[in-house]
Amino acid sequence: MQLFTAVSVAFALLQVSRAQSQSPVWGQCGGIGWSGATTCVSGTVCTVLNSYYSQCIPGTAAPTTTAAPTTTPVPTSSPSAPSSTPATSTAVPGSCATPSTVSGFNNSKLPNPFLFNDGSAVKTKEDWECRRAQILSLIEGYEAGALPGKPSSVSAKITKSGTSGTLAITVSNGGSSITFSPTITYPSGNPPAGGWPLVIAYDGLSLPVPSGIATMIYANSDMAQQNDASTSRGVGLFYNLYGKSATASAMTAWAWGVSRIIDALEQTPAANINPQKIAVTGCSRDGKGALMAGALEPRVALTIPQESGSGGDACWRLSKYEQDSGSVVQTATEIVTENVWFSTNFANYVNNLNTLPFDHHLLAALVAPRPMISFENTDYVWLSPLSSFGCMTAAHTVWQALGVPDLHGFEQVGGHAHCAWPAALTPQLNAFFDRFLLGQSANTSFFQTNNQFNGVTWNQANWIDWTTPALT
């Protein structure tokens, strides 16, 4: 009898141990750089979303791996590979060091995506995952502030009326709670298996969304206020939860809110939204925020910043160059006095940009290899048009290195008001929607500009001094 009891206890402890070593429903279960559990709780399947992220998805069928799409030649209007070569590398360190600052850094050009902080070369896709972690830590350390992890509790309830819905989300952490309720507009008809794809629009929708895709209006300014630089710091739902002294900038707080929306959708199947098919978009200041969300949240399937300019898909160094060349553009020194989109710490570096071991080509690179297309407007010099094109040209090399250049698009035209959608770009936009949210075949090799830079000259060799590697 005692032997039977001992065996029973041992078996129970083994089952508990196994359960604790498994990822929960919707939890991460694999991907390059992942060191956690690689099996899922009963009733879920570890499914490969991309080389960097596998997730426990409800179901019992054997998981299927989606192969990376066939790479098509980059169009002639897309950036060409720079001619210089990076320094020869030593072996990549056994552990991935992710400091929040780099002492003694000084570079007037755009920092090389394919060099680790110690100067050694990124050679493989696994190396890139470590490099990505380094870049993320630097961006949080210098300009974005600390992004908190998943809170202790997220719960949600969907209320529907016709094609409209309200997702009431309650988040609790450390004894405090907040509730926010983004609205959803559904397509007519029955949802597809797995639910509708969804576009999360910051503060409102400023681009056309094809049929078959739901939309959500996310009141990001309620999550973190963005009225001005003097009264908005630490104001909003995020700071009600984490305190006014939290270092997270408004844009980081908004991205945290996007993560909580995805958490809520994952645990609320009645919402009829497919949490694997979520796009994030916004225009102008909200375009900056959409890019930050795509960079910080790996579950965002498609990132679409629109006319985000400086602080978005433009690079700080290039915007300063435009200003020095006579254009009136938004720069780092101006932006920290205008609003709270960046952390207070960033103000310590805006007068010496060469000391930043990153720029916004590396912020965009955090999205890779997931798909992203950004849209810019050369009629508004304030948006820093040369900077956006040059910055995304530099970022594009990361998608090239990962073998998926057609997952990164850029379109820059004029002839329309700020945040007014130009109908001529709808085919490019729809191609990204069709391929990455609707699962249809589409050519997404779009990377072009009208080259209207207010008389300022773009010379790629002055800013990009690396050769794009083919990461294995």
Given this model, what pLDDT does residue 3 score? 39
CA distance 360 to 335: 14
Does pTM top 0.95 for this prediction?
Answer: no
- Do domains 96-143+310-323+347-434+441-471 and 152-306 share one topology? The answer is yes
**Catalytic (active-site) positions:** 284, 418
- Both tokens of 169, joined, read 């989300």
Task: Tell the burial category of 185 from Cβ atoms under 10 Å away from its Cβ (0-12, 13-18, 19+).
Answer: middle
Within 10 Å of residue 187's Cβ, how many Cβ atoms?
17
Tell me which residues of the chain have a pLDDT lower than 70. Answer: 1-20, 24-28, 31-35, 48-94
Answer for the pair 373, 409: CB distance below 8 angstroms, yes or no: yes
CA distance 372 to 302: 6
Answer for the pair 353, 280: CB distance below 8 angstroms, yes or no: no
- Both tokens of 177, joined, read 């709670």
User: At the topology level of CATH, where does 96-143+310-323+347-434+441-471 sit?
Assistant: Rossmann fold (3.40.50)
**Comparing C-alpha atoms, which of 393, 384, 364 is closest to residue 460?**
393
Given this model, what pLDDT does residue 55 score? 64
CATH superfamily name and code, 152-306: Alpha/Beta hydrolase fold, catalytic domain (3.40.50.1820)
- Both tokens of 316, joined, read 């700080």
Given this model, what pLDDT does residue 24 score? 67
Domain ranges of the chain: 96-143+310-323+347-434+441-471, 152-306
CA distance 274 to 276: 5
Given this model, what pLDDT does residue 85 score? 27
